[in-house]
Every structure is written in structure tokens, then in C-alpha cells.
Amino acid sequence: LYDPNCNGKQVMVHLFEWKWTDIAAECERYLAGAGFCGVQVSPPTEHVILPENNYPWWQRYQPVSYKLFSRSGSEADFVDMVHRCNSVGVRIYVDAVVNHMTGTGRSGTADGGSTYNSVGDARDFPGVPYSAEHFTPRDQCPSGDGNVNDYSNPANVRNCYLVSLTDLYGKLDYVRDAVAGYFNHLIQVGVAGIRIDAAKHMWPEDIAAVLSRLNDLPTDQGFPAGSKFYVFQEVIDQNDGAIKVDEYYDTGYVTEFRYCSKIAWGIKDYGQLSNLIDYGWGMARSDRAFIFTDNHDNQRGHGGGGNVITHENPRDYKQAVAYTLAQDYGFTRIMSSYFFENSDQGPPSNGGYSTADVTINADGSCGGGWVCEHRWNVMKKMVEFRNLVAGTTMSNYWNNGNAVAFSRGNQGFFAMAKQGSMSETLQTGLPAGSYCNIIDDCASSIQVGADGMAQVNINNYEEPIMAVCVGCGG
């Protein structure tokens, strides 16, 4: 439940809207070598298709059945991806949409062939199958129009329809069995875990009931016997409602959205980095916190949006992700995006509904509209750093409001300078010796004395970051 099942590796990447064929290739050609734990993939299940909205990315958050047939590919492609990634030690985590099915008022046939009808009182999803009695009864929802509209009332949040999405009745054994059946199918294929979408809108005991029905992970996909599905739950707790992240600790990790605001604030005003993790603010305990600088919603103003830093400001973004990976709180995920002009726009396409391949340029960056933040040199090097210092705590913390530095046990040392330069004599916590900065590919280095002190110089406006570690770099 709490172990991501990736051999102690520390960082996941969300390859948002990538096709299964491209993810399989990315595991083999890049992610394995770069030390990534695994990939969060977009929802793999059959979903509505919305030409009238120009095939927005969010159509995949309206499932039609649990058949593995989506805009990212067929079930055969999915299975091939999971197997190929597992065989190079990179795990797959599925974005699981099980709080609801489609929005109300929709009908049609999904790509995998299943029909759906949620027009009027109909709630027909024969591909599962679900019908009207499997959806939360209207009298359970204390809201005038049946939709979620009062975040101060847990029954409203969990029993009403989130943005008019038909809400599954998670109390029923039938629904719990159906959802567990979907998850056990993923497990049998070799998926290592899930993000539970809209977990905040599900009762924790309903989630627990589903998880209690799950099998161990299969040893034939390289999981040690007795391994459990890794779970992280999307609970947006910004101190703005009745639902708190700690209600979900027994069923897995929780997304910590306050971290997104905090790191954005900290990069704007380095002094704030000193109290980045604010337990007084109710932030989740470290061994339950799932953290990221931005996600597929808040980078485009969905899901409450907020002040977050994204790839659109590369200089700030590199600092935000570098700091996130350098410090010791939580389990980390890196976002990998595509460029967009409006917040509904789907991924790069070949026209219409067909998602374009990810193009890899000769220099290792991506083309064709894909941003591939996870391939930026700073991100790659910081993944290496975080893996190497895993298990150590932050110490020798120093912050003068313009530059910041700290050590990770006696394994690593990190420094960052907002204006692009710094020159300070600092305690590194490291054994004496010469260490090179992996961020600038060892163009600069520090000399650590017998007392652990070193002269730390940064002179690099675009990437004002230093990361050194025992046994990394050249």
C-alpha cells in the first residue's frame, strides 16, 4: 500500500496523455537508465469521446467501462507496455477513475465497443455492467441540484455528483466487487499501483473495502512475493473544506496540494523555503505525502488551479523541481506535459482524435508539441541525486533569503541561488574530498575540507543549482 514497488527508487513521472507504445519505448530508451521508479499513465479505461469539445484531454475522466481501451491504445498495447517497462525495472501506475462514470446527459459508443447512456434517469453502462441502482441514491445527497456544491459538508462532497459526473454508490458490494475486479485485472497484468482519482469524493471505508479485495502483485512480473498494490489518493485539501488528507492515511498516500502553492511561494521568495513543510498548516506527514510542483489540472487552471510554477517558466520551474527532489519530504512525481493554448485542448494529434507520437530530437529533447520536462538535464540529474541520498535527512540548513543550501546526511549537498550567483563558505556534511556539480555536468566542483566546510560558488543564471553527492557524477 505504501511501497511503490520499484526497488527503493524515489521519483515517478506522469507521462500525461502519452500513448502506450511511446511509454513502452520511453521506459527502455530513457526512464530505466535515468533511475525513474515508474510512470503514472492517463486513465486506460474506455471513455466518452467528445468531438463537440474537440476531443479534450478530460474526456478520459468519464469512463464508460473498465475495458482497457482508450485514446492511448488498445489492451494489447497496454499489456505490452506494462511488460516491457517491468522488464527494465520501471513500474506503471494507473490513474483510476472509480468515483463516477460519465457526466449526466451523455450517450454513445466508446472505442472499445461498449455503449453508455446517462441521459435523463438512465445510468446504463453495460460494459461493466452498471445500471441505475449502482449509483448514489438522490436522497443521500444534500444538495439542491444533486451536484457537489458544499465542501464544508462531507455528505455533499461524497454523495453528490462531482461536476455532474454520475456518482457510483460505493457502499454496495456489487460496486466494490466491480471496482476490485478492475484493479485485480491491472494487478494481473503487472501494474504496480494506482492514483485514485477524486478519492476525496469517496468514503474512506469504501476505498478500504475495495483494497481489501485485492490480490498480491504477480511474481512473474518481478514483484517479490507478498507485494501490495501502491496507492496514492487524489485528495485536494487546501484548508478549504471539511475533508482532510489524514482521513485517507489508512488507504495509502495522499496528494499534498498545499506543497504546490508552498514551493511556488518559496521560489518567488527564497526566505519562504525555510518553512516549506508546514505541519501547522495541516500538511500530510512525510510518509503519506505524495508531492509535485504542478499536476495536469493545476498547470491549466483546473482542479482549483492556484499559483503554481509550470514549464512555461523554465528557469523557475527547474529551481522548483530541483528543490522538491533535493529536500527530504514525501514521495515525488515529476510532471511531463504537452504545450496547449486553451485549458481543454487535448494532446498533440494527427488530426481529430488520434494522438500523435512523441518525437525525440537528436539532443534528447522532445518535439511535436511535447514538453518532456522529465528529459531536461536538471530533472534527470536531480532524480539521480534523490535516489542516491534516499533515507538521509536534511541538515546544515542555510538560507539568506537569496540563496539556500543544505546537506542530505553525509551523502549529498545541495545549493541554489535565486539571482544566479552565490559565494559562501558552508558546512556540507560531506567527507573531505573533491565533488563535482552534476547539474552542470561536472564543469564546476567544490573542495570539502576535513571539517566538512567548502567554498560554494554558483555562477549560472539559467540553472543556478548545485548538487553534489558521494558516488555520483564523474
Q: Which is nearer to Ca ion, 158 or 418 (CB)?
A: 158
Q: What gap in Å lies between CA 171 and CA 437, rounded to an integer?
A: 54
Whole-number minimum distance, CB 235 to ligand ARE, in Å? 8
Whole-number minimum distance, CB 58 to ligand ARE, in Å? 3
Q: Reduced to 3 DSSP states, what percent helix, strand and coil does the chain have, rounded to the nearest 5?
A: 30, 25, 45
Whole-number minimum distance, CB 416 to ligand ARE, in Å? 29
Near ligand ARE by CB under 6 A, which window of 17-25, 111-119, 236-244, 430-438?
236-244
If contact means CB under 5 to 8 A according to the sort of partner, which of Ca ion, ligand ARE, none does residue 297 touch? ligand ARE
Question: Given the C-alpha cell 526497488, which residue does it identify?
Answer: 7
Which of 187, 251, 253, 186 shows the shortest CA–CA distance to 223?
187
Work out whether the CA dihedral 322, 388, 222, 285 comes out positive or negative: negative
**Is residue 254 close enough to count as binding ligand ARE by CB under 6 A?**
no
Q: What gap in Å lies between CA 67 and CA 270, rounded to an integer?
A: 47
Q: Is 173 a catalytic residue?
A: no
Residues 151-170 that bind ligand ARE (CB under 6 A): 151, 162-165
In this structure, are residues 13 and 42 in contact, taking their beta carbons and an 8 Å threshold? no
Q: Chain centroid to CA 189: how far?
A: 21
Q: Chain centroid to CA 469: how far?
A: 26
Q: Which is nearer to ligand ARE, 195 or 318 (CB)?
A: 195
Q: Which residues pair with 467 in a beta bridge?
A: 414
Q: Which is nearer to ligand ARE, 88 or 163 (CB)?
A: 163
Q: Which is nearer to ligand ARE, 164 or 336 (CB)?
A: 164
Neighbours of 200 (CB within 10 A): 27
Marked catalytic residue, from 22, 46, 77, 197? 197
Q: Which helix or strand (DSSP H or E) is residue 178 part of?
A: helix 173-189
In this structure, are residues 251 and 211 in contact, taking their beta carbons and an 8 Å threshold? yes
Q: Which residues pair with 253 in a beta bridge?
A: 232
Answer for which of 146, 241, 314, 369 binds ligand ARE (CB under 6 A) is 241
If contact means CB under 5 to 8 A according to the sort of partner, which of ligand ARE, Ca ion, none does residue 6 touch? none
Whole-number minimum distance, CB 404 to ligand ARE, in Å? 29
Answer for which of 14, 91, 134, 200 binds ligand ARE (CB under 6 A) is 200
Neighbours of 173 (CB within 10 A): 10
If contact means CB under 5 to 8 A according to the sort of partner, which of ligand ARE, Ca ion, none does residue 38 touch? none
Q: Helix (H, G, I), strand (E, B), or coil: what is residue 412?
A: strand
**Is residue 256 close enough to count as binding ligand ARE by CB under 6 A?**
no
Whole-number minimum distance, CB 183 to ligand ARE, in Å? 17
The DSSP code sequence of 19-61 is: -HHHHHHHIIIIIHHHT--EEEE---S-B---GGGTS-GGGGG
What cell does 72 get? 492511448
If contact means CB under 5 to 8 A according to the sort of partner, which of ligand ARE, Ca ion, none does residue 103 touch? ligand ARE
Chain residue at closest Cβ approach to ligand ARE:
103
Which of 134, 141, 207 shows the shortest CA–CA distance to 172?
134
Query: Strand ranges (DSSP E) for 299-377?
Result: 331-336, 359-360, 366-367
Whole-number minimum distance, CB 43 to ligand ARE, in Å? 8
Q: What gap in Å lies between CA 448 and CA 427, rounded to an integer?
A: 9
**Is residue 97 close enough to count as binding ligand ARE by CB under 6 A?**
yes
Residues 34-63 that bind ligand ARE (CB under 6 A): 58-59, 61-62
Whole-number minimum distance, CB 342 to ligand ARE, in Å? 12
**Is residue 452 close enough to count as binding ligand ARE by CB under 6 A?**
no
**Is residue 304 close enough to count as binding ligand ARE by CB under 6 A?**
yes
Q: Which helix or strand (DSSP H or E) is residue 76 part of?
A: helix 75-87
If contact means CB under 5 to 8 A according to the sort of partner, which of ligand ARE, Ca ion, none does residue 288 touch? none
Q: Is 234 a catalytic residue?
A: yes
DSSP H helical ranges for 242-290: 257-268
Query: Strand ranges (DSSP E) for 301-431?
Result: 331-336, 359-360, 366-367, 394-399, 403-408, 412-417, 421-427
Whole-number minimum distance, CB 459 to ligand ARE, in Å? 40
**Residues that bind Ca ion in the complex, under the rule CB under 5 A:** 99, 158, 167, 201
Residues 103-142 that bind ligand ARE (CB under 6 A): 103
If contact means CB under 5 to 8 A according to the sort of partner, which of Ca ion, ligand ARE, none does residue 304 touch? ligand ARE
CB half-sphere exposure, 244, CA atoms < 13 A: 10
Near ligand ARE by CB under 6 A, which window of 1-9, 197-205, 206-214, 327-335?
197-205
Which of 7, 184, 216, 173 shows the shortest CA–CA distance to 94?
184
Marked catalytic residue, from 22, 234, 294, 384? 234
Whole-number minimum distance, CB 429 to ligand ARE, in Å? 38
In this structure, are residues 153 and 142 in contact, taking their beta carbons and an 8 Å threshold? yes
Q: Known catalytic residues?
A: 197, 234
Instruction: List residues near ligand ARE by CB under 6 A.
Output: 58-59, 61-62, 97, 103, 151, 162-165, 197-198, 200, 234, 236, 238, 240-241, 297, 302-304
